[in-house]
Structure 1
Amino acid sequence: MPWSNQSGGGGWKGGGGGPWGPRPGGPGQQPDLEEILRRGQDRIRQAMPGGGLGGPFTALAAVVVIALVGFFGFTVRVNPDELGIVLRFGKYVRQLPPGLNFRWPYPIEEVDLPKVTRINRIEIGMRGSSDLQRDASSAVRDVPEESLMLTGDENIVDVDFVVFWQIKDAAAFLFNIQNPEGTVKDVAESAMREIVGQSDIEPILTEARAKTEAAAQELMQKTLDSYGAGVLIKQVQLQKVDPPAQVIDAFRDVQAARADQERLQNEAQAYANRIIPEARGEAERILQAAQGYRDQVIALAKGDAARFLSVYEQYKKAPDVTRKRIFIETMEKVLSGTDKVIIDDKAGTGVVPYLPLQEFSKRPPSPEGQPQ
């Protein structure tokens, strides 16, 4: 079906969009050559006195107008952040790099200029976080129908995240999907729900945030590549991961109890790590002391036995002498720590017996404390 140039037609010029749906951000339509020439002639007539045109001047004006129309009709400017996608009679034929490029005027060729270097941002579960003009209290609006997700352990979690994406293949981006931004948003929400549904709630809230972001980005890219969307997912950022507002206080109490449990377990483990080596060291010390005492007793017993055998050998050689020497040594040990007076009865009667009367006069006091 040919592209219609009427306002009610089905082509892009008439607002239809062709077999791929509405054109996503295509440039404005080029004016007809006859219309440009007619408007130029009307302006020249208004500027000339009497409204007439001379022959040479008319020819010069026509040449200028044709040159301008040729320049602007056959060239297109592509900005540094853009890539020109040339359509000839509605069919994609080539790409134009940044700068001034030649192309046939409309309706032969038409150029789309998607911004291939711009990083686009899509918010899931919230709205308005990037609007700096809004008041801080109303900057972010929660969207629970997007953010509430079910985890693998049958808990509900409120997840807000942002997706940064870029055009990877301009031709595929323009012609393979009808609503690129909506497609990226739907794929992002679906991928995040799948990743959250395969995980427990506690890792998602704590140490598994980076892992969740990476898994969601990988799944989104795989899905969009299967669609041929021509989109590159640059990054997925989790903004808020919390339980629902209705149960967040109870959940925080549970988390605090778990934190206390973990802290007490760590303290008990630290105490065990300290007391067990001390107990092992004390047990080893006792064993070493017992071993030393055993060796000491055995050595003393062997020494006593050896000494007894040596004395016995001497006793067999001279029993009387040995017996007398043992008696003297024994008496020496017994009497060495006592007070004693030795009187030799063979010394005669010159020794006067001594009776310590003063010692006897020192009597202990009576129970009443009075001397007797």
Structure 2
Amino acid sequence: MAWNESGNGQKNDRDPWKNQGGRDQGPPDLDEAVKNLLGKLGLGGGGSNKGGGSASLGGKGLGIVLVLAVVVWFIAGFYTVKEAERGVVLRFGQYHNLVESGLHWRPVLIDSVQTVDVSNVQQFQSEGFMLTQDENVVRVELDVQYRIVNPRDYLYAVENADNSLVQATDSALRFVVGHSSMDEVLTVGRENVRAQTLELLERIIEPYQLGIQVVDVNLLPARPPEAVKDAFDDAIAAQEDEQRFIREAEAYAREIEPLARGQVRRLLQEAQAYREQTVLRAQGEVARFNELLPQYQAAPEVTRQRLYLETLEAIYANTAKVMVDVEGSNNMMYLPLDQILQKQRERIQQMQSNQEDRVTPLDTSSRSDSSRNSNQSGSSTGRTTSGRG
């Protein structure tokens, strides 16, 4: 059934466009619809509303829109800067001021704000193959830690402060490595390379005013090219052994030095004692001769004979020789009786020690008696021999 036919088959003159009299007027005009909408909002152009009433209503609506726009513009101007950040305010694209953390307001479309993190420490790594002073190639990695201290300089002093710092670090590192030997970069001189790189990097970035402070640099373990890696590993191991030997030698020196100092003090004390003993003995000899001089002057011959006999007595007392006068002969026979007696005593002591090992504890008294008898016999033998001599 068509839209213009009724249920009983008759034609219906009503249509969706509310055409009257069966006239085909087409769809409603879009401009008319917009004017009607503006009229309802009080912005004028309402069609049937004419005169001063429509003009006053349109002015009131425009005021409301302006107030709403101002409120929205004011609310949109509030912004927050985080605790670790600082805000750089630009007014019409030019630096205006620096704001701290917290809630702030700016005029939208006039001021713009860029926030910069100034509390947290940032880091990056500079690495690459570099040529040393002795014309060797090493792979060096440097870890750089920095933080932003001047947000304005960081944003506007150079085009890209982070990239500038990376390039300055690479330049400083290559300069220091180029003036160091490979052994220094790989082993003993790593701390010097790190310190020199930090000092040179600070001097390089100072004129550029990057607004960045380098906190620290850390030189990671350098590596030689793979073709010579094994040889340099051996060299590093040898240097480690050298350091270990040095520490062991120092420990040995710390152990021996007190003993040597003690021996030196002991020798000094013994020398001092010997000196005093010699001086005292000499003084005693002088005193003895001073006492002997009046006796010698009174009886020279007797005193000379007595001194001669005392001297012979002192000499023979320290001599291990036994002289035997053979009757009827003009020669003196020498017998090593002292050595014979000494060997005899050693044999007796050896026999006694063997008997002590074999006897039981009950034979202790008899063993001691036999030892005593043996000692007495040896003593009597010695006395007899000495008396005969």
Q: Give the TM-score of the pair, scaled to structure 2.
A: 0.51
State the secondary structure of the residue aligned to 1:122. Answer: strand
Partner of 1:309: 293
Partner of 1:194: 175
Moved over 6 A (4+): 56-61, 322-334
Q: State which of 221, 238, 241 in structure 2 corresponds to 1:257.
A: 238
CA–CA distance in 2 between the matches of 1:330 and 1:215?
A: 84
State the secondary structure of the residue aligned to 1:241. Answer: coil
Asked whether the 8 Å contact 1:173–1:180 carries over to 2, the reply is yes
Letter in 2 for 1:241: A
State the secondary structure of the residue aligned to 2:108. Answer: coil
Partner of 2:337: none
Asked whether the 8 Å contact 1:158–1:240 carries over to 2, the reply is no
State the secondary structure of the residue aligned to 1:83. Answer: strand
CA–CA distance in 2 between the matches of 1:240 and 1:98?
A: 40
Partner of 1:103: 106
Q: CA deviation at 1:226?
A: 0.9
Higher mean displacement: 65-74 or 322-331: 322-331
Partner of 1:79: 82
Write the mapping of 1:46-195 to structure 2, written as runs, cut at 5 A.
Answer: 53-55=40-42, 62=65, 65-106=68-109, 108-125=110-127, 146=128, 148-152=129-133, 154-195=135-176
Asked whether the 8 Å contact 1:121–1:165 carries over to 2, the reply is yes
Write the mapping of 1:305-344 to structure 2, written as runs, cut at 5 A.
Answer: 305-306=289-290, 309-315=293-299
State the secondary structure of the residue aligned to 2:214. Answer: strand
CA–CA distance in 1 between the matches of 2:157 and 2:104?
A: 25
Letter in 1 for 2:123: R
What does the per-residue CA deviation read over 1:244-295, in whole Å, with 9 as the maximum and x for residues that have no partner?
4443432232233344445556666745847865775676577557646754
What does the per-residue CA deviation read over 1:290-348, in whole Å, with 9 as the maximum and x for residues that have no partner?
646754774575466456534423426xx78x8999999999999xx99xxxxxxxxxx
What does the per-residue CA deviation read over 1:212-240, in whole Å, with 9 as the maximum and x for residues that have no partner?
44443333233222112222222222332
Higher relative contact order (Cα pairs below 8 Å, separated by 6+ residues): 1
Instruction: Name structure 1 gaps, 5 residues minimum.
Output: 1-44, 126-145, 339-372
Write the mapping of 1:233-244 to structure 2, written as runs, cut at 5 A.
Answer: 233-244=214-225
CA–CA distance in 1 between the matches of 2:308 and 2:85?
A: 124
Partner of 1:216: 197
The percent of aligned pairs where both chains have the same amino acid is 27
CA–CA distance in 2 between the matches of 1:288 and 1:188?
A: 68
- Larger fraction in helix: 2
Asked whether the 8 Å contact 1:158–1:244 carries over to 2, the reply is yes
Instruction: Name structure 2 gaps, 5 residues minimum.
Output: 1-32, 43-56, 317-321, 324-389
CA–CA distance in 2 between the matches of 1:185 and 1:155?
A: 24
Q: 1:76 to 1:312 in 2, by over 3 A?
A: closer
Letter in 2 for 1:82: E
Letter in 2 for 1:182: N
Residues matched between the structures, number? 265
Q: 1:116 to 1:52 in 2, by over 3 A?
A: farther
Asked whether the 8 Å contact 2:187–2:236 carries over to 1, the reply is no
CA–CA distance in 2 between the matches of 1:302 and 1:64?
A: 133
What does the per-residue CA deviation read over 1:338-367, in whole Å, with 9 as the maximum and x for residues that have no partner?
9xxxxxxxxxxxxxxxxxxxxxxxxxxxxx
